[in-house]
Structure 1
Amino acid sequence: MQQREEKQLEASVESLISRVAHVKNSLHSFIYKLENEYERLTWPSVLDNFALLSGQLNTINKLLRNEKTPSLRNQVIIPLLLSPDRDEDLAKLTEQRVPVFSHEIVPDHLRTKPDPEVEEQEKQLSTEAARIGPEVAQKQIQTLNKLCSNLLEKLNNPRDDRDAESAAIRQNKPSFNPADTNALVGAVAFGKGLSKCRPPGPVAPGHPGQGAMISGGPTLQQVTIGGGSGQQAGMGGPVAPQQQGQPGKMPSSIKTNIKSASGSMHPYNR
């Protein structure tokens, strides 16, 4: 009886080792693709790798739940020899991952319970779950189910329906301000709201009858005629009245200024 149980245990362990090796190879291949072939890796290929890993893990779970597989919970592993020295056989079996079977490594590799940090987090979650009453928990479950149902309904709707809803929303939303449009049309067509003040410009002194000069044009108030004497003829200033009986005769003051100009001929002197 004992020999038969030992044979069953040995066969189940060998089968588990084989299944775990398949999972390890699949993980190694998937990680290699993610690190080296990510540029040409497609989403369907990623889903296929996840499906392969999920199927292999389900196979291991079925093997553990099989009636012919002895309960591994009843099996206890006790380290018979701990040494700080390197063990080549152990390194070969573990693919150089565990070269030494020492007091530091044994608690991690032979652990049958989660880490203390994980246990503390589980205790906190259990305490919070126990503090929430069944009625509050039921309401939260119903709210979550409602949100999930609405989300699934939106995802399952045809794309045409979503496009139609988006177009209707865009049509109902105004894209302009009517008041601004009316103000702009009134300003362009009728000058409504525009300022009526005239732009400022220089005015020649001593000419009450002259209007304001055009802004931006030449003023022509003073023009330098002679470079040597430094005299200036006021073209925009008052002009002496012509002598009677001599129509079209140039005033003597302008003639004097023109004669004093050095090296230049004025059209009036011709």
Structure 2
Amino acid sequence: MQQREEKQLEASVESLISRVAHLKNSLQSFIFKLESEYDRLSWPSVLDNFALLSGQLNTINKLLRNEKTPSYRNQVIIPLLLSRDRDEELAKLTEMRVPVFSHEIVPDHLRTKPDPEVEEQEKQLSADAARIGPEVAQKQIQTLNKLCSSLLEKLNNPRDDRDAENAALRQNKPWFNPADTNALVAAVGFGKGLSKCRPPAPVAPGHPGQAMMTGGPTLQQVTIAGASSHQAGIGGAVAQQAPGQPGKIPSSIKTNIKSAAASMHPYNR
């Protein structure tokens, strides 16, 4: 019976050492990435390393809770030999971290209580927690649970559903004002809402502001004036306005005006 328990203890310790070695390698690899590859380390890679560490810790906890694993709390480690000389076998087992098993190292490695600094911090945290009343603590717990539940719902919600909801919101969102569109169509098609243009006020002949008030000379008047000046320069007949008919030009001059306009107009095409 005792031999079977000893073999079971040795097997569980070996399995535990193997799991802890895998966890240690993962931690070393992650620390190396953080120290040397921090400039090109992406957030998904960091999450993958955290997931690996979390899975290995869960595996160790399952191994410790297994029914076949003996309770390590019932096992006591007692140093049988203390020496100041270097122990190569001990250094090899501890990866050169503990080369000597002396009276200075034993209290640190066989300690069953945390370090004094850690113990002091734990006492301070316990005192701070005790000062909080049960009602305040319950409210804080409910608030934290609500935040965690909301975060879990968002994380568990599939990405496709979120994309579909965003697409539906974009489709249902109005991109124009129907009232403005109807007013624009009515103004363009039927002239609704447009102010009427008032006719220019009559101006006395010879008034200096006549050209500006009446909108200035038209293109036909400028063409006629240019053609008349050209004909006067080459010895052509200049049309004289008939009395009583201001602004009326004889038909014989119109033909000459067209030819002159076609040859002398600066914007001829």
Q: TM-score, normalised by structure 2?
A: 0.53
Partner of 2:70: 70
Aligned positions of 1:17-96 closer than 5 A: 17-96=17-96
CA distance in 2, matches of 1:8, 1:147: 45
Aligned match of 1:117? 117
Q: What are the ranges of 5 or more consecutive residues in structure 1 without an aligned counterpart?
A: 165-270
Deviates more, 1:71-80 or 1:103-112: 103-112
Q: Post-superposition shift, 1:103?
A: 1.2
How many Å separate the matches in 1 of 2:120 and 2:26? 33
Aligned residue type for 1:127 = A
When the two structures are aligned, how many residues end up with a matched partner? 163
Task: Find the aligned partners of 2:50 and 2:147 in 1 and give their Cα distance.
Answer: 27
Residue by residue, what CA displacement relative to the aligned partner does 1:85-130 show, whole Å, maximum 9, x if unpaired? 2111111111111111111111111112111222222223223323
CA distance in 2, matches of 1:95, 1:28: 14
| Alignment-mate amino acid for residue 101 of structure 2 | F
Distance of 1:127 and 1:59 partners within structure 2: 34
Off by >4 Å, runs of 4+ in structure 1: 143-156
> Cα–Cα, structure 1 residues 93 and 151, in superposed 2: closer, same or farther, change >3 Å?
closer
What is aligned with 2:254? Answer: none
Give distance in 1, aligned partners of 2:50 and 2:140: 31
Give matches, 1:1-270, under 5 Å. Answer: 1-145=1-145
Counterpart residue identity of residue 108, structure 1 = D
CA distance in 2, matches of 1:54, 1:148: 19
Distance 1:151 1:3, change over 3 A: closer
Matches of 1:62 and 1:131 in 2, distance apart? 35
Q: Distance in 1 between matches of 2:151 and 2:39?
A: 32
Task: Tell me how far 1:37 sits from its aligned partner.
Answer: 2.6
Q: Give 2:8's aligned amino acid.
A: Q
Q: Tell me the amino acid that sits aligned with residue 58 of structure 2.
A: N
Q: Which amino acid aligns with 2:6?
A: E
The 10-residue stretch of structure 1 (102-111 or 61-70) with the greater mean CA deviation from structure 2: 102-111
Q: Distance in 1 between matches of 2:59 and 2:150?
A: 35
Task: Report Cα offsets for 1:13-42 as digits up to 9, x if no partner.
Answer: 000111111111112222222223333322
CA spacing shift, 1:124–1:148, aligned 2, 3 Å:
same
Separation in 2, partners of 1:56, 1:45: 17
Give the gaps of 5 or more residues in structure 2. Answer: 171-269
Give 1:81 shift.
0.9
Would the alpha carbon gap of residues 8 and 146 (structure 1) be closer, same or farther in structure 2, given more than 3 Å must change?
closer
After superposition, the Cα gap between the structure-2 partners of 1:128 and 1:72, relative to the gap in structure 1 and judged at 3 Å, is: same
Query: Structure 1, residues 146-177: CA drift from partner, whole Å, max 9, x if none?
Result: 66678889999x797xxx9xxxxxxxxxxxxx
**CA offsets 1:176-227 (integer angstroms, 9 cap, x no match):** xxxxxxxxxxxxxxxxxxxxxxxxxxxxxxxxxxxxxxxxxxxxxxxxxxxx
Q: Secondary structure at the match of 2:125?
A: helix
Match of 1:189 in 2: none
Q: How many Å separate the matches in 2 of 1:68 and 1:2?
A: 15
